[in-house]
Amino acid sequence: MISRRDLFSHLAMAAATARIAPTGLNAQTPGAAQRYGKEKLIVRSMRPPDFETPVALLDSFITPIEHFYVRCHMPVPQVDAASWTLKVGGEVDSPLSLSLDEIKKLPAHTITMTLECAGNGRAFFEPAMAGIQWEKGAVGTARFTGARMSDILKKAGTRASALNVEMHAADRPMGTQPAFVRQVPMTKAVHPDTIIAWDMNGQPIPLAHGAPLRAIVPGWEGAYSIKWLNALNLIPRDSDSFWVATGYRYPNRRVAPGAAVDARDMEPLRGMPVKSLITIPANGAALAAGKINVGGFAWAGENDIKAVDISTDNGATWQPARLTGEQARFAWRRFEYTLNADKAQSYLILSRATDSLGNMQPAVSQWNPSGYLWNQYDSVRVEVKGA
């Protein structure tokens, strides 16, 4: 069991790291044409583009497109919506090649979904590991509209032998990098909220977010929602793609920090864990004594949020926050709490979410070799001054 001293030290480290991270325009200043309208975001990589959202820009239920994080494994491809086709093949009765217009003639379905990179929070793990050093902002919530994947598969005539759907995209690997191919089991592919989207927040999906077509796989880690989708291949087995057989995998048992893990002890990532994010007050804020509004969002992959609690005594006691605002399947939930800060002192504010299955955020995230699924208590430190 972790000691209270170790917990305090770990949370303080995470808060301090967030304070010194480069933000917005002072991180890197490449040409505007390469930023895809994301000038306010933190640049983690330019080639391919990986842009993180500062926490201050995540205080609305729907994340504006210009504030939505960008994760790319490969350079953004050039696309032509007019000539775009989605091919459907493999274990089907009638292989298809559908134009964008043909797909848009299918019944449209809209889903509000929180999308999060599996590596969000990687920068906080110790010991550190390779990969994009995301902190807290590789997450956002949007409304996506498109055709149900099940409707497209129905048109092709799915065979009983089909176990998985490989999803292929138009982005091209750099050097010896393997092509980005993911798979979903048939049960998830035909879920009524799994869609092939052409619209994001009421407008055509922007290029950096996967135009003209993007798979939306709700509740699962973000890499399943593959961008620039151009092919679905139904297969009777597991894909041998690197990104399925080797990448995006997680230990099936607890491992000591820094320990090697045998490939046989790894399994695919799927649903995201319960998590919370404090968006107000800002970390490091200097505030006047009195009532302080604490707010943020909590989400839990395929599960609903049951409760969020707040602590200001390093987790010794917890007080319930209020759940407010819009409630949507697969989307985060707003929480609010009023802190009576009458004393002039430093406050470490912790948030802890619990989902509908009783899963609770841990005090310390489970270390893993790839730095996935960071979901320990969120924390911000504020300085309260006397009246």
Same domain, yes or no: 99 and 156:
yes
Q: State the residue range of the domain holding 103.
A: 81-115+139-268
Element (H, E) at 340: strand 333-341
Same domain, yes or no: 263 and 158:
yes
Angle formed at CA 241 by CA 239 and CA 245, multiple of 5 degrees: 75
Bridge partner list, 347: 382
Going residue by residue through the chain (387 aa), what tens digit of pLDDT does each one get? Answer: 344 444 444 444 444 433 333 333 233 333 444 899 999 999 999 989 999 999 999 999 999 999 999 999 999 999 999 999 999 999 999 999 999 999 999 999 999 999 999 999 999 999 999 999 999 999 999 999 999 999 999 999 999 999 999 999 999 998 899 999 999 999 999 999 999 999 999 999 999 999 999 999 999 999 999 999 999 999 999 999 999 999 999 999 999 999 999 999 999 999 999 999 999 999 999 999 999 999 999 999 999 999 999 999 999 999 999 999 999 999 999 999 999 999 999 999 999 999 999 999 999 999 999 999 999 999 999 999 976
Structure tokens at 14: 């995470």
The pLDDT value given to residue 9 = 44
Give the torsion through C-alpha atoms of 46, 50, 55, 61, to 10 deg.
Answer: 130
CATH number at 226 reads: 3.90.420.10
Question: Considering the domain boundaries, does residue 199 fall inside one?
Answer: yes
Question: Considering the domain boundaries, does residue 201 fall inside one?
Answer: yes
Instruction: Report how far Cα 348 is from the mean position of its chain's Cα atoms.
Output: 25
Question: Considering the domain boundaries, does residue 46 fall inside one?
Answer: no
Same domain, yes or no: 291 and 195:
no
Question: Considering the domain boundaries, does residue 90 fall inside one?
Answer: yes
Same domain, yes or no: 105 and 213:
yes
Same domain, yes or no: 251 and 308:
no
CATH number at 346 reads: 2.60.40.650
Question: Considering the domain boundaries, does residue 145 fall inside one?
Answer: yes
Same domain, yes or no: 259 and 339:
no
Same domain, yes or no: 247 and 143:
yes
Same domain, yes or no: 108 and 247:
yes
Question: Considering the domain boundaries, does residue 71 fall inside one?
Answer: no
Same domain, yes or no: 184 and 89:
yes
On whether the CB atoms of residues 104 and 133 are closer than 8 A, the answer is no
Give 385's Cβ-side CA count (13 Å radius): 6
Considering only CA atoms, which of 198, 200, 42, 199 is closest in space to residue 123?
Answer: 42
Q: Report the number of distinct structural domains present in the chain.
A: 2
On whether the CB atoms of residues 292 and 341 are closer than 8 A, the answer is yes
On whether the CB atoms of residues 156 and 213 are closer than 8 A, the answer is no
How many C-beta atoms surround the C-beta of residue 340 within 10 A?
10
Instruction: Report how far Cα 8 is from the mean position of its chain's Cα atoms.
Output: 26
Same domain, yes or no: 348 and 239:
no
Final residue of a structural domain among 268, 288, 317: 268
Same domain, yes or no: 231 and 181:
yes
Question: Considering the domain boundaries, does residue 184 fall inside one?
Answer: yes
Burial of 143 (0-12, 13-18, 19+ CB in 10 A): middle
Final residue of a structural domain among 268, 298, 323: 268
Rounded to two decimals, the pTM is 0.91
Final residue of a structural domain among 241, 268, 295: 268
Same domain, yes or no: 222 and 279:
no
Q: Kindly report the backbone phi and psi dihedral angles of residue 152, in degrees, each rounded to the nearest multiple of 5, phi listed first.
A: -70, -40
Give the torsion through C-alpha atoms of 149, 151, 154, 155, to 10 deg.
Answer: -110
Cα–Cα distance, 318 to 308 (Å, whole number): 9
Question: Considering the domain boundaries, does residue 25 fall inside one?
Answer: no
**Cβ neighbours of residue 131 under 8 Å, at least 6 residues apart?**
119, 122, 370, 371
What is the length of the chain?
387
Structure tokens at 29: 């200043």
The pLDDT value given to residue 174 = 87
Structure tokens at 175: 């050097």
